[in-house]
């Protein structure tokens, strides 16, 4: 529920920020449901992502000043609020000349997309990637980041009433091919591989049958990275895929990457710089968003939990 709280004391190393925008992501809802790998100690403020403007800083704060824009450097910050005071090290400065919705949706999905494209296979211009749930926040970021690097994308989505509209939107972002899950089994897939090489990398956030079908199209020794399980079904892999094609199955969780690289500021900074430059050049845009005033959070949560959602709710 919405509550009025006193803003905490600033202290020497605190940063007082006013939140500008904060999205509702599936992981936020899973945390509230108690089914996520991280749970906040209660009482807690929801929201793991967003952008705020610095109002005031403690006298020991060196990296930030009033007027700067910041996003969370860690999970569990609690971004669904109007204001808050946070320790300096929990915040990352971002350029304040990028669109507010790009900044608000920067720390989870584009970072996940960037790391999965960079860390598992060495991809060169002309190579291809296949992904399911291509209309998700990560999926849209994968399309754009791949396009900027000259990598082709084969994008799988669920069949739905508004399919032509969705296909058009993903193609406008730079998708090379958009197909439905049913198409994965059909002989027409051969036509795609006349113009596009078979992918060495598959990105999976669905699980179940769609994932098994997607694996068929990977090159031998290719890698499938799983970062979500929207179908709530296990990943099933035929034994032959391991023996005769030596496929690799990996997992990725952005929160864990941040923990593993906590001492490695360089890799975080270079990723953020790259993503912000893509935004500034117009090569990476925010996913389709619906902006909702904070007091209407109930309606926003309802909308975020509907099936076939193509728009991210932003408080």
**Residues taking part in catalysis:** 36
Query: In the chain, what are the domain boundaries?
Result: 14-105+286-313, 109-254
Bridge partner list, 157: 180
The number of residues in the chain equals 315
pTM value is 0.94
pLDDT in tens, the chain (315 residues): 999 999 999 999 999 999 999 999 989 999 999 988 888 899 999 999 999 999 999 999 999 999 999 999 988 899 999 999 999 999 999 999 999 999 999 999 999 999 999 999 999 999 999 999 999 999 999 999 999 999 999 999 999 988 999 999 999 999 999 999 999 999 989 999 999 999 999 999 999 998 999 999 999 999 999 999 988 899 999 999 999 999 999 999 999 999 999 899 899 999 999 999 999 999 999 998 999 999 999 999 999 998 777 789 999
First to last CA, the chain: 14
DSSP state of 207: -
Helices 265-280 and 137-148 meet at what angle, rounded to 10? 80
Alpha helices in the chain (DSSP H): 26-33, 100-104, 109-119, 137-148, 163-173, 189-195, 209-215, 239-243, 254-260, 265-280, 297-304
Same fold, 14-105+286-313 and 109-254: no
Question: Got the DSSP string for 57-69?
Answer: E-TT--S--TT-E
CATH topology for 109-254 is: Rossmann fold (3.40.50)
Bridge partner list, 23: 314
For the record, the structure tokens of 59 come out as 């006298």
- Cβ atoms of 218 and 240 within 8 Å: the answer is no
For the record, the structure tokens of 315 come out as 């408080």
Domain 14-105+286-313 indexed as CATH 3.40.50.10470: no
Nearest to 113 by CA among 247, 223, 203: 203
- Cβ atoms of 175 and 146 within 8 Å: the answer is no
For the record, the structure tokens of 184 come out as 């994965």
Instruction: Count other C-beta atoms under 10 Å from residue 197's C-beta.
Output: 11
């Amino acid at each position: 529920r919405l509550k009025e709280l006193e803003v905490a004391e600033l202290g020497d190393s605190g940063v007082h920020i006013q939140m500008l925008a904060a999205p509702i992501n599936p992981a936020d809802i899973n945390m509230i449901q108690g089914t996520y790998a991280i749970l906040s100690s209660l009482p807690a403020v929801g929201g793991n992502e967003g952008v705020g403007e610095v109002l005031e800083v403690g006298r020991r704060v060196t990296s930030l000043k009033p007027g700067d824009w910041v996003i969370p450097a860690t999970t569990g910050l609690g971004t669904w609020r109007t204001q808050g005071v946070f320790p300096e090290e929990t915040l990352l400065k971002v350029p304040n000349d990028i669109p507010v919705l790009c900044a608000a949706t920067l720390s989870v999905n584009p970072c996940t997309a960037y790391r999965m494209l960079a860390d598992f296979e060495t991809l060169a211009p002309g190579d291809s990637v296949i992904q399911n749930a291509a209309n998700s926040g990560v999926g849209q970021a994968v399309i754009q980041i791949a396009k900027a690097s000259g990598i082709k994308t084969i994008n799988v989505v669920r069949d739905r009433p508004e399919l032509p509209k969705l296909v058009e939107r993903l193609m406008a972002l730079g998708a090379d091919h958009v197909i439905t899950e049913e198409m994965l089994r059909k002989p027409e897939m051969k036509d795609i591989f006349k113009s596009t090489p078979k992918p060495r990398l598959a990105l999976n956030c669905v699980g179940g049958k769609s994932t098994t079908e997607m694996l068929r199209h990977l090159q031998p020794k290719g890698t499938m990275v799983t970062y979500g399980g929207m179908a709530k079904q296990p990943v099933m892999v035929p034994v032959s895929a391991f023996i005769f094609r030596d496929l690799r199955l990996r997992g990725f969780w952005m929160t864990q990457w941040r923990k593993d690289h906590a001492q490695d500021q360089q890799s975080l900074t270079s990723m953020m710089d790259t993503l912000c430059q893509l935004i500034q050049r117009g090569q990476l845009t925010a996913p389709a968003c619906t902006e909702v005033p904070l007091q209407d959070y109930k309606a926003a949560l309802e909308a975020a939990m509907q099936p076939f959602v193509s728009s991210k709710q932003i408080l």
